[in-house]
Amino acid sequence: MSSKKKSGTSKKRDHQPQFYGYDLFADQAPTVKGRLIVLEGTDGVGRSSQIALLREWLESEGYAVATSGLKRGKLAGKGLKDAMAGHTLNDITMSLLYATDFADRMEREILPALRAGFIMLTDRYIYSIMVRSLVRGVDPAWLKNLFSFALVPDIVFYLQADVSSLIPRVLNARGFDYWESGGDFLPGRDYYENFVTYQRRVLAQFDALAAEHKFRRIDANRSMHAVFRDLQREIRKVIADMKPARLPQEIPAVEMPPEPAGGGDGRE
């Protein structure tokens, strides 16, 4: 993933797509009119919430917005979920299946949307998949090579929160998950302890990737609103030279019902 471009963000693009290593998809991306914006970070850090807010904001400004996320590909998404439910894969085959899902989404969702001029907001990217495999001991060089067909995003936001901030969010939202607590490889059986251990290891790997690929760190220990404001400010710069697909949405005038004949109070 290092031969072409080392940074996780690309400077002002000339609309020529950049790939990390192999440009296997170059013929499918002769030009890229849209922007690829990635939100990365640990489980429960607030990615879904921020993507929903960003989408609403960007669409109201007149931009066409598309989203993508892990395990959402038509080809391998269901296979991945089944494999996780049935524990049928090892660390290598799991990485390969994640890579298949990612390649499928690159081809069918991400590149077509970028060609059509969409702002593509992705909930995690190759980095989460790599981190997931790295904490389980998969070889870093092999992983880099495996994902080197990935398009270099215009910006990668790293939503970073301490484990102590994550715990109440995850517990409130849905409780601890087997995989997010490293249930497949950590020896203990205590979900709480395992969640803390696993997420600390994940954070350490994310920190290393963030430094290597120059992610834009956002302090996600703060309120949702504060995080959103920072994202908005950074995204404004990334889309500064884009034209919205249509004019910003005007708030439609509320149509008042006609006065009822005879001056009644309108109640039924």
Ligand X SMILES: Nc1ncnc2c1ncn2[C@@H]1O[C@H](COP(=O)(O)OP(=O)(O)OP(=O)(O)O)[C@@H](O)[C@H]1O
Q: Which residues bind ligand X (CB under 6 A)?
A: 43-49, 169, 172-173, 220, 223-224, 227
Please report how close the Cβ of residue 131 comes to ligand X at its closest, in angstroms. 13
Please report how close the Cβ of residue 24 comes to ligand X at its closest, in angstroms. 28
- The Cα 55–Cα 77 span in angstroms is 23
- The Cα 191–Cα 179 span in angstroms is 10
- Among 74, 73, 95, CA closest to 84: 95
Please report how close the Cβ of residue 69 comes to Mg ion at its closest, in angstroms. 7
CA triple 6-66-54, angle to 5 deg: 85
Q: Tell me, what DSSP letter sits at residue 187?
A: S
Looking at the Cβ atoms of 29 and 45, the one nearer to ligand X is: 45
Q: Which entry of Mg ion, ligand X, none binds 227, CB below 5 to 8 A by partner kind?
A: ligand X
Looking at the Cβ atoms of 124 and 216, the one nearer to Mg ion is: 124
CA triple 33-52-206, angle to 5 deg: 80
- The sign of the dihedral angle between the CA atoms of 127, 95, 105, 183 is negative
Looking at the Cβ atoms of 8 and 46, the one nearer to ligand X is: 46
Q: Which entry of Mg ion, ligand X, none binds 49, CB below 5 to 8 A by partner kind?
A: ligand X
Q: Distance between terminal CA atoms of the chain?
A: 67
Region near Mg ion per CB under 5 A, out of 46-54, 73-81, 154-162, 224-232: 46-54
Q: Which entry of ligand X, Mg ion, none binds 164, CB below 5 to 8 A by partner kind?
A: none
Looking at the Cβ atoms of 4 and 229, the one nearer to ligand X is: 229
Q: Does 48 bind Mg ion (CB under 5 A)?
A: yes
Sheet containing strand 35-41, strands side by side: 65-69, 119-123, 35-41, 155-160, 216-219
Q: Which entry of ligand X, Mg ion, none binds 214, CB below 5 to 8 A by partner kind?
A: none
Looking at the Cβ atoms of 189 and 225, the one nearer to ligand X is: 225
Q: Which entry of Mg ion, ligand X, none binds 43, CB below 5 to 8 A by partner kind?
A: ligand X
- The Cα 94–Cα 46 span in angstroms is 25
Name the residues that contact Mg ion, by CB under 5 A. Answer: 48
